Structure 1
Amino acid sequence: MERATYRRRLRTVLLPVLLAVLALVAGGLPAGAATAERAATGRAAAGRAAADARPLFQLPFPCGTTWQLDTWGHNPALDLVVEHNTGSDGLPVLASAAGTVSATYWNNGSGNTIQVDHGNGWFTAYYHLKDDPAAYVRKGDPVTPATQLGRIGSTGNSQWSHLHYEQRYLAGGGDFTDESHRVPARFDGVEYSGVAREWPSVTSRNCPGGTPAGWQDCPAGWVCFYTGPDGTGTVCRTDVDVPNSTCGLRRSFFNNGNPQPGYDHVQVYFREGGSQCLHYGWTEGRGNLPADGRTVDRIEWRGEC
């Protein structure tokens, strides 16, 4: 083989390899891998943004009423009836959060149906309503959690009176969703999902102002932070370490339920500096925090502070 021909072939084989090595050294990843990594990072950021924008949905029923929830054969959608499934027909259905009615329509499967747009891609859907879907609200109407959308019925493909309910997320916006957009439902921050699951007794916190009555309503095992100096008002709560909580507070009360197993103290750290220990079982206040507007940065469950 002539030497010039040999050199040309050698360049043909080695040049792509050399360029690839240089790309790895300069950029750390091949172009395709870097693009995939950026796309994955973008999807993760979008997922976090969607979760952050989720409204604090409440059960679509009046405050203090108790309901039975189940997923039956359509998880993550829920069927909702009165606890023990007695006397649901005709009871009022309320909006789960503030928003705008985005659709009212009839469907052979879902019967009288309403969708509410809660902003930032979040929607709720209400099936089998007893009355015409425009009887109480119309498309474009603003709603609050106290707004009645309709009444429980059994219209469409339904054999008994119940509310089929869905929470949906539509990335990129729009004003109409379908069942492909449904996600696991959360009420008052608690998720209700799973195949063939049932929750026989869940109390609605769809209350005026969206607030519980006071510290005694803080669920067992949680730490509740209230804006009111007497343990009432807007509540932010957590049962795990939550860095960078935006829960501004004036005073806090540790709940009177059961603490995390094995622990009866929680150390609360403030964004402005310093920390304070809350002790389960204190007879007065259950661990008051000063009324100075400090913000919780994180908490740590522990045996002693």
Structure 2
Amino acid sequence: MTPHTQHGLPPRARRSSRLRPHHLLRLLVGAAGALTLVLSTGASAPAVSPAVLPGASGTPAASPSDRAARPDFQMPLSCGTAWQLNTYDSGHNPALDIVVKGNTGSDAKPVLAGAAGTVAYTGRDTGAGNLIQVDHGGGWFSAYYHLKDAATAYVRVGDRVEATTQIGRIGATGSHSNDWSHLHYEQRYRPSGDGPTDEGDRVPVVLNGTQYTGVGRTWTSVTSQNCSAWANCPETYVCFYSGPNGTGTVCRSTGNSGATGCGLRRSYFNNGSEEPGYDHVQVSFGEGGGMCLHRGREEGRGNFPGDGKTITKWRWRGECS
């Protein structure tokens, strides 16, 4: 397919037009123009292929030693959620189509950036629907097709995003979605670093250090590890973090008091969930004094002044005294 370069657009997602989770019939046009009928079963296999497969242009993708360091790509979906990944036929692989585990309803689920970067392109294509490209630096890009909303509902070109930044929602836009809500996802590498990229720059997808590639492959349950440091606090616990942005040592407690021995800058309580009957935590510092912190994803983050304080005890309260 010829990219829409005259408009600065990536090519249409022609390969995502055969996306149904059942046996797929496809007509392939060979180099001599002959038509070949291919039956793709979408059979699952537990292991991933080690092969580095050709990109859409038909030229071999660069070997890892020829590329800049790959970003630490994570699943472009919410922390702890389980997903089914499909590569389908040789025209679609190494792209992935991603749906909720069991394909039980993926529409409107949040789509995340998967790795830090800058939004390089947003737009709409007849086949791909609403789409976004993120530039992760060093020649690495990621692409997201069939998004439910116009990209500008969440991000704009030039916006800085983190791995956990929501950039859209899963949808079924574009004629090649076949009205089936799913995320068509690609990782791309272009040595020049110039974007936006096209499907000729596709490379096998690596998520959380595991490669998912190979014709006709299905992974039925892959759990997203795209988690911010704040998400490391189990529910029913009270958690405090030593780093400035919810990073570093995590001190946990299921009780109302106890010395932690941690010098702390910020805190986070119950991972944003409620403590039944209470909505405030009163903390006391070894250096003297204390603070009252409210539960919740935003209000539950407390900024401790200076070089941090040492928490010696805490107590869940209806209101702080």
TM-score bucket of the superposed structures, by smaller chain: 0.5 to 0.7
In the TM superposition, what is the alpha-carbon distance from 1:213 to its structure 2 partner?
Answer: 7.9
> Considering only CA atoms, is the larger Rg found in Structure 1 or Structure 2?
1
Separation in 2 of the partners of 1:75 and 1:119?
Answer: 23
Q: What's the counterpart of residue 177 of structure 1?
A: 197
Equivalence map 1:108-257=2 (5 Å): 108-156=126-174, 157-159=176-178, 160-209=180-229
What number of residue pairs does the alignment pair up? Answer: 175
Q: What's the counterpart of residue 60 of structure 1?
A: 76
Q: What's the counterpart of residue 123 of structure 2?
A: 105
In the TM superposition, what is the alpha-carbon distance from 1:209 to its structure 2 partner?
Answer: 3.6
Mark the runs of 5 or more structure 2 residues left unpaired by the alignment.
1-61, 235-246, 251-321
Q: 1:48 to 1:211 in 2, by over 3 A?
A: farther
Normalized per residue, which structure has more helix? 1
In the TM superposition, what is the alpha-carbon distance from 1:48 to its structure 2 partner?
Answer: 1.7
Q: Is the Cα–Cα contact under 8 Å of residues 205 and 211 in structure 1 kept in the other structure?
A: no
State the one-letter code of the partner of 1:58. Answer: Q
Q: 1:46 to 1:203 in 2, by over 3 A?
A: closer
Q: What's the counterpart of residue 72 of structure 1?
A: 88
State the one-letter code of the partner of 2:84. Answer: Q
Separation in 2 of the partners of 1:195 and 1:46?
Answer: 19
Separation in 2 of the partners of 1:229 and 1:146?
Answer: 20
Separation in 2 of the partners of 1:66 and 1:122?
Answer: 25
Query: Relative contact order (alpha carbons < 8 A, sep ≥ 6): 1 or 2 greater?
Result: 2
Q: 1:186 to 1:212 in 2, by over 3 A?
A: farther
In the TM superposition, what is the alpha-carbon distance from 1:46 to its structure 2 partner?
Answer: 8.4
Separation in 2 of the partners of 1:102 and 1:134?
Answer: 12
TM-score scaled by length of structure 1: 0.54
SS at match of 2:97: strand
Separation in 1 of the partners of 2:75 and 2:230?
Answer: 11
Separation in 1 of the partners of 2:75 and 2:155?
Answer: 19
TM-score scaled by length of structure 2: 0.51
Q: Percent identity?
A: 60
Separation in 2 of the partners of 1:100 and 1:134?
Answer: 14
Runs of 4+ in 1 over 6 A off after TM superposition: 210-214, 227-230
Q: Is the Cα–Cα contact under 8 Å of residues 167 and 182 in structure 1 kept in the other structure?
A: yes
Normalized per residue, which structure has more strand? 2
Cα RMSD (Å) of the superposition? 2.6
Q: 1:104 to 1:72 in 2, by over 3 A?
A: same
Separation in 1 of the partners of 2:116 and 2:102?
Answer: 29
SS at match of 2:84: strand
Q: What's the counterpart of residue 109 of structure 2?
A: 91
Separation in 1 of the partners of 2:126 and 2:119?
Answer: 20
State the one-letter code of the partner of 2:177. Answer: S
Q: Is the Cα–Cα contact under 8 Å of residues 129 and 153 in structure 1 kept in the other structure?
A: yes
Separation in 1 of the partners of 2:84 and 2:230?
Answer: 21
Q: What's the counterpart of residue 251 of structure 1?
A: none
